């Protein structure tokens, strides 16, 4: 499935591009994610945990920068994981393009191609898309908060001073998903 998103950061485009490639700074902002050490092939270990009602999806895998073009400010992140308990897998390729937004901001447009197997795939495409969008929204808000923190001379606070990634909790997430679906239905009428 393909999921597109767009968000802004209060950084110049080159700074925003550099930030997005710095997995140590981005991973703490992705809900439920924990970045691990580098592996022999240059990728980084990654664990991701998501709760949806009584179901808990926990994955172990890797993430790496597949390609990057600093001049065009384009990059591709590649990730793959297996469920810790179960037979499910998740693969993602995320293409990102950073462009100027006004005088001192950047807009990040991303296209994620996600392949799921196992229990997560059985929850339904619409739910998976909505959960993925909420994860990206939360990550974008966290990154923007880190970038605009008034006390930060370098533009970003150290990881230990920022909220740490946490599991995505069903109640909050599902209430947002339901509300978005209701708004879509009302717009159609």
Across 30-34, 126-130, 157-161, the highest mean pLDDT is recorded for: 30-34
Q: Are strands 33-38 and 2-9 parallel, antiparallel or unpaired?
A: unpaired
Are the beta carbons of 150 and 157 closer than 8 angstroms?
A: no
Q: How confident is the model at residue 175 (pLDDT cuts 50, 70, 90)?
A: low
Dist. CA 164–CA 157, nearest whole Å: 12
Is the backbone of residue 73 left (phi > 0), alpha (psi -120 to 50) or beta?
Answer: left
Q: How many domains does the chain have?
A: 1
Q: How confident is the model at residue 70 (pLDDT cuts 50, 70, 90)?
A: very high
Q: How confident is the model at residue 178 (pLDDT cuts 50, 70, 90)?
A: low
pTM over 0.85, yes/no? no
Please tell me which residue, 49 or 151, carries the higher pLDDT value: 49
Per residue in 150-168, pLDDT tens? 334 444 444 333 334 444 4
Are the beta carbons of 74 and 97 closer than 8 angstroms?
A: yes
DSSP state of 156: S
Domain span holding position 67? 2-188
CATH code for position 59 = 3.30.530.20
Question: For 127-164, b where at least 16 C-beta lie within 10 A, e where not — what string?
Answer: ebbbbbbbbbebbbebbbebbeeeeeeebbeeeeebee
Are the beta carbons of 169 and 51 closer than 8 angstroms?
A: yes
């Amino acid at each position: 499935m393909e999921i597109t998103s767009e968000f802004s950061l209060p950084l110049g485009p080159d700074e925003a591009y550099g930030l997005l490639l710095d997995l140590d700074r981005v991973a703490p902002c992705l809900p439920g994610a924990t970045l691990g050490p580098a592996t022999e092939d240059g990728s980084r270990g990654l664990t991701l945990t998501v709760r949806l009602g009584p179901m808990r999806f926990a994955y172990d895998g890797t993430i790496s920068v597949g390609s990057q073009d600093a001049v065009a400010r384009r990059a591709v992140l590649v990730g793959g994981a297996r469920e810790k308990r179960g037979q499910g897998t998740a693969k993602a390729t995320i293409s990102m393009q950073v462009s100027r937004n006004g005088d001192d901001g950047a807009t990040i447009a991303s296209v994620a191609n996600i392949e799921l197997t196992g229990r997560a795939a059985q929850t339904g495409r619409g739910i998976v898309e909505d959960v993925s969008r909420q994860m990206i929204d939360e990550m974008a808000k966290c990154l923007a908060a880190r970038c605009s923190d008034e006390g930060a001379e370098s533009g970003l606070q150290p990881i230990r001073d920022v909220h740490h990634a946490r599991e995505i909790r069903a109640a909050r997430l599902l209430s947002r998903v339901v509300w978005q679906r209701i708004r879509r239905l009302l717009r159609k009428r």
